[in-house]
Amino acid sequence: MRPIGESEIRTSFVNCSKGEALRLGLPRDFAELPWADLDFLGWRDPGAPERGYLVVERGGDAGRRLVGVSLRTASGAGRGFTARSICSICKTTRTGGGVALLSARRAGESGRNGNTVGQYICSDLACSLYVRGKKISAGSLLDETLDVDSRIERVRKGLELFVERITADSR
């Protein structure tokens, strides 16, 4: 992912108000993010742990644009949970609440009517780092047969499908 600035991030959100986007907390380590290792920018709000955010680049080379999505999880979800779960985006096995059901209000009229989309995703939103081996899961590692480039492509496609479900009614 190319490095992006705070104003680009805040104006990219499609499923929250401009005021909400202005108030959201950016990642604590924003200045040190490993942009070259990110397929998307994902983080949990430092001031509101039940909130998370994704910013992805969408569209072809001629029409690339950022799309930001506000996410929510149930407060305290996953605490004390020891079973293994698999992230639907990066397929990383996690334990202890490392995967959470994150829901996003749909964009447009559908979202204003209360419709949401949910997905089981790494609760720290670090899928890009897990598939590259930059971060290791506490869960047992499955024998992955795909090479790193194929895993990265799987993450990108999974995110594209998730974001497409969120934005489908807003076009």
User: What's the pLDDT tens digit per position in 49-101?
Assistant: 899 999 999 876 667 899 999 999 976 555 545 577 899 999 988 887 889 99
Percent of the chain with pLDDT over 90: 67
pLDDT tens digits along 9-54:
999 999 999 999 999 999 989 999 999 999 999 999 988 889 999 9
Query: Between 94 and 152, where is the model more confident?
Result: 152
Helix (H, G, I), strand (E, B) or coil at 72: strand
**Residue 75: DSSP 8-state:** T
Rounded CA gap, 132 and 139, in Å? 16
Return the residue matching tokens 């020891």.
82
In this structure, are residues 50 and 73 in contact, taking their beta carbons and an 8 Å threshold? Answer: yes
Residue type at 15 in one-letter notation: N
What does pTM read for this prediction?
Answer: 0.88
What pLDDT is attached to residue 62? 65
Strands 65-72 and 85-86: unpaired
Query: Between 78 and 144, where is the model more confident?
Result: 144
- Backbone dihedral angles phi then psi of residue 91, each to the nearest 5 degrees: 65, 25
- The residues, ordered by sequence, that sit 6+ positions from 145 with a Cβ below 8 Å of its Cβ are none
Which tokens in the block code for residue 7?
Answer: 């104003």
Helix (H, G, I), strand (E, B) or coil at 132: coil
Residue type at 120 in one-letter notation: Y
Which tokens in the block code for residue 124?
Answer: 């720290």
Domain locations along the chain: 6-170
